[in-house]
């Protein structure tokens, strides 16, 4: 595997810092995945342990992957916008990775990043992976009514959205799977390998 730091340019003209990792050379490339990080106002960035586990673990399993710092984080330009303009950051990562994968790429995220990814309805997205999404209230998720496949991974003891709430919140979603991550909370300590395995199983479906 090799990791390269690149600069993405958003449609509104911001420079976003990102890393791209190419799949392990000992197996065929199986696809591309964009990975979005948790809430920047609570310390989230592209080096978050869950993001890093997905980034490296999926590359081990044959996927090219890209992770990036949302606007206003690290060396990425701009300011935090509560998840609205951050959709343009996800779109820029999709655009970059789709140049290597003309068949399309997967949009994934952890916590805040999963909610942003679920609101990016881009034609080159094959489907979505939402790890510990903090689903709440009447807020509509754009991907909910989209026919493309979706995986929601809900930690058993999630402080923000436990599996029962996640099931209620996604009951009317189209073409989705809800998986429970046993024995852990929102921060997924001790379950990073399990997360990668569950995501990999879904992607190769």
Tell me: the pLDDT tens digits for 65-89? 999 999 999 999 999 999 999 999 9
Packed helices 192-204 and 49-60: angle between N→C axes, nearest 10 degrees: 50
* Integer Cα distance of 136 and 121 in angstroms: 20
pLDDT tens digits, residue range 8-58?
999 999 999 999 999 867 778 899 999 999 999 999 999 999 999 999 999
pLDDT tens digits, residue range 146-180?
999 999 999 999 999 999 999 999 999 999 999 99
Q: Which domains does the chain have, with CATH numbers?
A: 3-204 (3.40.50.1820)
Question: What pTM did the predictor assign?
Answer: 0.97
């Amino acid at each position: 595997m090799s990791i390269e730091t690149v600069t993405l340019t958003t449609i509104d003209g911001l420079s976003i810092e990102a890393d791209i990792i190419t799949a392990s050379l000992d197996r065929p490339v199986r696809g591309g995945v964009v990975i979005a990080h948790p809430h920047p106002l609570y310390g989230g960035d592209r080096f978050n342990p869950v993001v890093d586990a997905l980034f490296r673990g999926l590359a081990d399993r044959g996927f090219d992957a890209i992770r990036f710092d949302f606007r206003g984080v690290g060396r990425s330009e701009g300011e935090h916008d509560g998840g609205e303009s951050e959709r343009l950051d996800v779109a820029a990562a999709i655009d970059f990775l789709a140049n290597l994968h003309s068949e399309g790429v997967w949009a994934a995220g952890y916590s805040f990043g999963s909610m942003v990814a679920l609101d990016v309805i881009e034609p080159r997205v094959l489907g979505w992976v939402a790890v510990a999404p903090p689903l709440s209230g009447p807020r509509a998720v754009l991907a909910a009514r989209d026919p493309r496949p979706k995986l929601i991974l809900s930690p058993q003891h999630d402080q923000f959205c436990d599996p029962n709430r996640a099931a209620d919140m996604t009951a009317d979603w189209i073409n989705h799977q809800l998986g429970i991550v046993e024995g852990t909370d929102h921060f997924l300590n001790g379950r990073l390998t399990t997360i990668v395995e569950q995501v990999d199983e879904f992607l190769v479906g």
